[in-house]
Amino acid sequence: MLFLARMDVIFPESMDSATKADFQVREKEYSGNLQRQGIMKGIWRVVGEYANYSIFDVDGHDELHEILSGFPMFPYMDVKVTPLAKHPNATSDDFFAG
């Protein structure tokens, strides 16, 4: 099942830059593992915002929740999830093949 997630990162103003940098390193590692496993199909930056759109291919809601809540930055993220179904006019089945 495919899901589109928008993640907005909101760090508290009081958080120092070393702590932010540490979150970014751990986030990159976690995110990279998901991408290498094919669970996270892609991630895009929202222009001008500390936010991204990502596509996840998972078995269901519980797995997605577990994955999202495992992001190191999860306590500082506002996450919105949209379930995706195949569009009848889509010319490619790529995302649905796996």
Residues of this chain that interact with ligand MUC (CB under 6 A) are: 7, 9, 27, 31, 43, 52, 71, 73
Return the number of the residue (32 or 86) whose C-beta is nearest ligand MUC: 32
| Exposure letters 35-46 (e unless 16+ CB within 10 A, then b) | eeeebbbeeeee
> Closest distance between ligand MUC and the C-beta of residue 98, in Å?
20
Provide the phi-psi class of 53: left if phi over 0, else alpha when psi is between -120 and 50, else beta.
Answer: beta
**Neighbouring residues of 72: CB distance < 8 A, sequence distance ≥ 6:** 23, 26, 27, 30
Return the number of the residue (32 or 83) whose C-beta is nearest ligand MUC: 32
Return the number of the residue (76 or 95) whose C-beta is nearest ligand MUC: 76
> Closest distance between ligand MUC and the C-beta of residue 30, in Å?
7
Residue nearest to ligand MUC (CB): 31
